[in-house]
């Protein structure tokens, strides 16, 4: 009898210790770590995740991870706040293994957004769920948008040079510029007319510094097109073209994202060489990646290994409509 009572007490105690599904969801804290917290794209993502948390009843801790040490410190911070997992756009995709070791140490679930972790061999870490653009397809959209505008302006490809602002340290960037390059070549662009401007970072000032000498060394071309991994970098190229003295009508720059930087450019009284951007919903990226992680934490349903989104061309003529349509 004593044995039965002891067993019953232990069993009852264990049952009381187990939280119900509803209780488990009452105390959910998730992190959202981004590599460039000041950029509009990442502000939108974190805002969308925070709004989802308010709707669903979980907390979102917004953190910056601009280098490897800051990311690891952010994960330590999340652990101290009892977080069950985090969404991250890493500052360097090669940090994936180190980030996962720290996350696993704390028993946290991880979802990547925008930039996907790679392993020591440079291959995607397929065991970490990811949500992002198809870099190559988005790049193709950029290239085709440029080619369409060249045709609309009646430009002779022989008289057109391309400024390709590159960042081959970032696989996503390489895929985007490769996609744009292939699309342009398929549309009759001359390969020898493409000039690289390697940038050290992914922002406007870095792109400006990389682009300026390219214009100076190649002054024989009547028209220029500009493409890169994002619209901030294309804007850097456009600013460099202006400093060099190229009029807006001789420049076609097409970026990727659809953020405040593009909106400000389209709102200028006079058009600039920034023709357009392939807009992707950063709001959707933030909301969906947070939703995927939340579902995984609360219901045990692991997200798909890789979810890819597409984009919509936004120009000076339609940017307000596209912005509202995509919830940017």
- Domain assignment present for 19: no
pLDDT, one tens digit per residue, over 204-241 is 999 999 999 999 999 999 999 999 999 999 999 999 99
Residues 47 and 101 in one domain: yes
Residues 209 and 290 in one domain: no
Arithmetic mean of pLDDT, 9-37: 61
Per-residue model confidence (pLDDT) at position 260: 84
pLDDT of 126 > 50? The answer is yes
Residues 189 and 241 in one domain: yes
Residues 171 and 232 in one domain: yes
Residues 167 and 186 in one domain: yes
Residues 294 and 158 in one domain: no
Residues 260 and 140 in one domain: yes
**133 within 8 A of 113, measured Cβ to Cβ:** no
- Domain assignment present for 72: yes
- Domain assignment present for 17: no
- Domain assignment present for 253: yes
pLDDT, one tens digit per residue, over 259-310 is 888 999 999 999 999 999 999 888 999 999 999 999 999 999 999 999 988 8
Residue 26 confidence class, pLDDT cut points 50, 70, 90? low
Decide which of 123 and 260 is more confident: 123
151: nearest Cα among 48, 225, 232 = 225
pTM: 0.70
> Alpha helix (H) ranges present in the chain?
2-17, 21-26, 40-56, 68-80, 96-105, 135-153, 171-186, 204-217, 231-244, 260-266, 282-299, 319-326
**109 within 8 A of 297, measured Cβ to Cβ:** yes
Report the CATH number at residue 46: 3.40.50.2300
Per-residue model confidence (pLDDT) at position 295: 97
Per-residue model confidence (pLDDT) at position 250: 98
Residues 38 and 124 in one domain: yes
Share of the chain above pLDDT 70, in %: 92
- Domain assignment present for 140: yes
Per-residue model confidence (pLDDT) at position 6: 32
Residues 123 and 160 in one domain: no
230 conformational bin, left if phi > 0, alpha if psi -120 to 50, beta if neither: beta
How many independent structural domains does the chain possess? Answer: 2
Show the domain range for 243.
Answer: 135-279
Which residues are within 8 A (CB) of 290 and not within 5 positions of it... i.e. 6 or more apart? 30, 32, 48, 49, 52, 53, 60, 87
Residues 51 and 87 in one domain: yes
- Which is it for the CA torsion 199, 201, 203, 209, positive or negative? negative
Residues 207 and 227 in one domain: yes
Per-residue model confidence (pLDDT) at position 188: 95
pLDDT of 99 > 80? The answer is yes
Which residues are within 8 A (CB) of 263 and not within 5 positions of it... i.e. 6 or more apart? 319, 323
- Domain assignment present for 22: no
Residue 57 confidence class, pLDDT cut points 50, 70, 90? very high
- Domain assignment present for 90: yes
- Domain assignment present for 14: no
pLDDT of 32 > 90? The answer is yes
Share of the chain above pLDDT 90, in %: 80
The edge-to-edge listing of strands for the beta sheet with 59-64 is 59-64, 29-34, 85-88, 109-113, 130-133, 306-309
**277 within 8 A of 258, measured Cβ to Cβ:** yes
pLDDT, one tens digit per residue, over 239-253 is 999 999 999 999 999
Residues 219 and 121 in one domain: no
């Amino acid at each position: 009898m004593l044995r039965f009572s002891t067993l019953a007490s232990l069993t009852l105690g264990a049952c009381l210790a187990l939280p119900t599904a509803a209780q488990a969801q009452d105390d959910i804290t998730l992190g959202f770590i981004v590599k460039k917290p000041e950029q509009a794209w990442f502000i939108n993502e974190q805002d969308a995740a925070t709004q989802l948390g308010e709707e669903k009843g979980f907390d979102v801790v917004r953190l910056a991870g601009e280098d490897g040490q800051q990311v690891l410190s952010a994960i330590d911070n999340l652990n101290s706040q009892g977080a069950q997992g985090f969404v991250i756009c890493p500052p360097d995709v090669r940090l994936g293994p180190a980030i996962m070791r720290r996350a696993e140490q704390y028993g946290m679930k991880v979802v990547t957004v925008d930039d996907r972790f790679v392993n020591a061999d440079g291959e995607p870490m397929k065991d970490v769920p990811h949500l992002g653009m198809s870099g190559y397809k988005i790049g193709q959209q950029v290239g085709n948008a440029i080619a369409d505008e060249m045709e609309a302006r009646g430009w002779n490809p022989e008289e057109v040079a391309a400024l390709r602002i590159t960042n081959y340290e970032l696989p996503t960037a390489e895929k985007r510029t490769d996609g744009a390059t292939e699309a342009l070549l398929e549309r009759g662009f001359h390969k020898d007319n493409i000039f690289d401007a390697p940038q050290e970072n992914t922002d406007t000032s870095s792109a400006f510094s990389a682009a300026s000498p390219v214009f100076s060394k190649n002054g024989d071309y009547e028209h220029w097109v500009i493409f890169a991994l994002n619209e901030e970098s294309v804007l850097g190229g456009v600013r460099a073209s202006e400093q060099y003295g190229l009029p807006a009508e001789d420049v076609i720059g097409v970026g990727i994202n659809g953020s405040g930087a593009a909106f400000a450019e389209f709102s200028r009284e006079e058009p600039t060489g920034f023709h357009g951007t392939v807009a992707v919903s950063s709001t959707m990226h933030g909301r969906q990646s947070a939703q995927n992680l939340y579902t995984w934490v609360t219901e045990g349903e692991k997200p798909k290994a890789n979810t890819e989104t597409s984009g919509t061309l936004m120009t000076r003529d339609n940017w307000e409509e596209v912005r509202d349509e995509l919830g940017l």
